[in-house]
Amino acid sequence: MSEQVNFGGDIVWRPSRDDIEGSNLWAFMREHGIDSHEELLQRSTTDVAWFTDALFRFLDIRFSRPYTEVLDASEGIAFPRWCVGGEMNIVESCVDRWAADPLHFERTALIWEGEEGTTRTMSYGALAGEVNRCANALRALGLGKGDAVGLFMPMTPEIVIALFAIAKIGGIVLPLFSGYGAAAVADRLADADAKALFTADGFFRRGNVIEMKSVADEAVASLPALRHVIVLQRTGHGVDMTAGRDHWWHELIPAQAPAADTAEMSAEDVLMIIYTSGTTGRPKGAVHTHCGFPVKAAQDMAFGTDVHQRDIIYWMTDMGWMMGPWLVFGSTILGATFFISDGAPDHPAVDRLWQQVARHRITVLGISPTLVRSLMVHGLEPVRAHDIDALRFFASTSEPWNPEPWMWLFRDVGESRRPIINYSGGTEISGGILMGNPLLPLKPTAFSAACPGIAADVYDEDGRPLRNAVGELVITAPWIGMTRGFWRDNTRYLETYWSRWEDVWVHGDFAAIDSDGLWYILGRSDDTIKIAGKRVGPAEIESVLVAHQAVNEAAAIAVPHDVKGSEVLCFCVLTPGFRESEALMAELRDAVVHALGKPLAPRAVVFVPDIPKTRNGKIMRRMVRSAWLGLDAGDTSGLLNPSAVEAIHERGREAGG
């Protein structure tokens, strides 16, 4: 874990004085007499209560009853109590306060674009009215505090309305990936004891209608406690409706009154359960509260991507993944505008994404490295065809970068003046552990620093801090966004994050800090490749492979070897126009040897049509390894492309693992 690593190279972007002095982060620091980001990190992590209280005030989080103590850690670092005695409903801070203010009532809250080109905008005032109507409909169905309600819908304005309505009545939001199969939907609804489900007849992707209602029907059939299904008519194709259980959105909700009470909640009442898939066992339900997840989302959006009320932020995601609720809660707490869309980013034409950025004057664009690699294939012409001058920042999350696509986005698309705010954390974090920001310089693929309030470090195998080498990413103090445990399974929560070192959260990422203080994520720590005592992060090998013009995507894993313990196996998706061959395989293998040395020479390079990844573009290397070796791949329901697992399994069978 402690081998020396050659990191990202030279600094390629430095903030201007205007960048710094116009930023939210600078304003926060000035407010508290803090002179440097380093000082902010030190103070925010050694006095977590001070920082959290200051954050609530900076974001103007509304409490109907003030807390008497911001943090009570008497029960241990894994189970702190936050906002003791406080009462609030986060909808007041996200929607109600803006709608009640004449200066903000007409401000645009959201912009939506469908794959077929339809667009809609909604002001904060209009959003509040629709949320109230939806909340009244839920109450009319007998739903209220503590009832879990699933969201299994495409990314349309209605999914935002439903999210806020569930929170407004004191219910528990249960986001579900729109591409799930029936079993995955049923498992999560059953685990949370859901009482209702929002869904749609279907959605459009690449010009095709993708079924949702039939999937929902199959899932709900095994859940007698789930009494109501509310159905959005998105595509207009015929679906079956069950009398007494199913309700059309357009028949139930518009008829409701546009005013509704916001339920008073304890600040630590459960707001949302987000399920994350593991490699084995049932999905983990990360529990989040009213004063937790949304506040951390808004903090990172304000301090990292520097979103102000004038900004329009678009993060390409699904509501079933953490970044969907993150986008909605964070932007509305800040009083900004967020953009959402459904369909594919390169359909009906490869320039759809850039057309959206230009048409809607998007200022912050969150994009995954996987998508960037796919867009690189088409060159710069689709970008240059559109005016993207409004764009201030790129941002990225979901997986480690390779240098070449990072530089293409920064230098060629961003003209070396738009920083890429790299962001890494997780569902259980409510956002980032590490993040770029407008105050600190950037190197390719790197993170500027830990997020304020996150006491992050890198440990070696003996639990000692480590620099200029690869180790375990850890956190050593509580933070406001931390999950309040796993739903009905705190034993698993403790085993997952708190069992290796006392009072240390071990995140499961392979990380490093260089001599300039910049951070790097090199994949999951259980993805680590160790060959004859030498460790390497999969991203290093993959960077070599995708630098070749023939390779569009790559995944590197370790497979067993009798002598060396393990050896490298590489999976490559070819760029259109290239064909697999023994010569190309040898060329790619030699490139890895040349870059990283003979001990890390791949056993083989396997050409595959696709690599398993989540909706957010995270490559699931553990599933690649399991599929190749014929092991249980775990829960594949959250994948964008589950068929990729079976294809790799077949190649593994043919090759004998």
Q: Measuring CA to CA, which residue among 113, 112, 88, 93 is closest to residue 104? A: 93
Lowest-confidence region among 223-237, 238-252, 262-276, 616-630: 616-630
Residue 557 in any domain: the answer is yes
pLDDT beyond 60 at 279 = no
Residues forming a β-bridge with 457: 474
Q: Contact 442/10 with Cβ under 8 angstroms?
A: no
The number of domains in the chain is 2
Terminal C-alpha separation, the chain: 27
Domain final position from 473, 495, 523: 523
Residue 634 in any domain: the answer is yes
Strand order of the sheet with strand 565-574?
Answer: 551-561, 565-574, 602-607
Lowest-confidence region among 1-5, 290-294, 296-300, 566-570: 1-5
> Looking at residue 282, what is its pLDDT?
67
Return d(Cα 142, Cα 136) in angstroms, integer. Answer: 10
Q: Give me the DSSP letters along 244-294.
A: TTEEEHHHHSTTS-S--PPPP-BTTSEEEEEEE--SSSSPEEEEEETTTHH
Domain final position from 489, 523, 557: 523
Domain boundaries, position 621:
527-655
> Looking at residue 397, what is its pLDDT?
87
- 393/511 same-domain check: yes
Show the tokens assigned to 491.
Answer: 């034993």
3-state secondary structure 454-507: CCEEEECCCCCECCCECEEEEECCCCCCCCCCECCCHHHHHHHHCCCCCCCEEE
- 518/531 same-domain check: no
Lowest-confidence region among 2-11, 92-101, 206-215, 217-226: 2-11
Average pLDDT value for residue range 383-395: 97
Lowest-confidence region among 22-36, 107-121, 178-192, 260-274: 178-192
Residue 200 in any domain: the answer is no
Residue 221 in 3-state DSSP? coil
> Looking at residue 657, what is its pLDDT?
63
149 φ, ψ (degrees, to nearest 5)? -130, 125
Residue 608 in any domain: the answer is yes
Average pLDDT value for residue range 449-463: 96
- 462/348 same-domain check: yes
- 423/572 same-domain check: no
Average pLDDT value for residue range 7-36: 93
Q: Contact 656/632 with Cβ under 8 angstroms?
A: no
The pLDDT confidence band at residue 164, using thresholds 50, 70 and 90, is very high
Instruction: List the CATH number of the domain containing 644.
Output: 3.30.300.30
- 395/419 same-domain check: yes
Per-chain mean pLDDT for the chain:
93
pLDDT beyond 50 at 587 = yes
- 514/495 same-domain check: yes
Average pLDDT value for residue range 551-560: 92
Cis peptide before 348 (omega within 30 of 0): yes
Which residues, 6+ apart, have CB-to-CB distance to 426 below 8 Å?
Answer: 276, 322, 433, 507
Q: State how far the alpha carbon of 650 is from the alpha carbons of 58, 558, 635, in Å.
A: 54, 18, 18
> Looking at residue 8, what is its pLDDT?
57
> Looking at residue 1, what is its pLDDT?
43
pLDDT digits (tens, 9 = 90+) for 406-422: 999 999 999 999 999 99
- Percent of the chain whose pLDDT exceeds 70: 96
Domain final position from 523, 546, 562: 523
Average pLDDT value for residue range 456-461: 95
Average pLDDT value for residue range 232-251: 96
Residue type at 58 in one-letter notation: F
Residue 333 in any domain: the answer is yes
∠ Cα 312 317 322 (to 5°): 105
653 φ, ψ (degrees, to nearest 5)? -65, -40
pLDDT digits (tens, 9 = 90+) for 431-447: 999 999 999 999 999 99
The pLDDT confidence band at residue 191, using thresholds 50, 70 and 90, is very high
Q: Contact 655/360 with Cβ under 8 angstroms?
A: no
Which residues, 6+ apart, have CB-to-CB distance to 539 below 8 Å?
Answer: 400, 401, 402, 521, 522, 523
Asked whether the CA dihedral 253, 124, 421, 366 is positive or negative, the reply is: positive
Residue 32 in any domain: the answer is yes
Q: State how far the alpha carbon of 513 is from the alpha carbons of 27, 493, 596, in Å.
A: 27, 27, 20
- 562/432 same-domain check: no
pLDDT beyond 50 at 32 = yes
Average pLDDT value for residue range 78-84: 97
- 541/450 same-domain check: no
13 φ, ψ (degrees, to nearest 5)? -145, 135
pLDDT beyond 60 at 160 = yes
Residue 139 in 3-state DSSP? helix
Lowest-confidence region among 20-24, 329-333, 342-346: 342-346
Lowest-confidence region among 99-103, 119-123, 373-377, 564-568: 564-568
> Looking at residue 3, what is its pLDDT?
46
Instruction: Provide Rg for the chain, Cα atoms.
Output: 24
The pLDDT confidence band at residue 4, using thresholds 50, 70 and 90, is very low
Instruction: List the CATH number of the domain containing 364.
Output: 3.40.50.12780
- 450/383 same-domain check: yes
- 439/345 same-domain check: yes
Residue 633 in 3-state DSSP? coil
pLDDT beyond 60 at 2 = no
Residue 223 in any domain: the answer is no
Residue 331 in any domain: the answer is yes
Our separate counts of H helices and E strands in the chain read 22, 29
Return d(Cα 356, Cα 312) in angstroms, integer. Answer: 12
> Looking at residue 180, what is its pLDDT?
82
> Looking at residue 105, what is its pLDDT?
97
- 537/516 same-domain check: no
Return d(Cα 183, Cα 198) in angstroms, integer. Answer: 17
- 611/550 same-domain check: yes
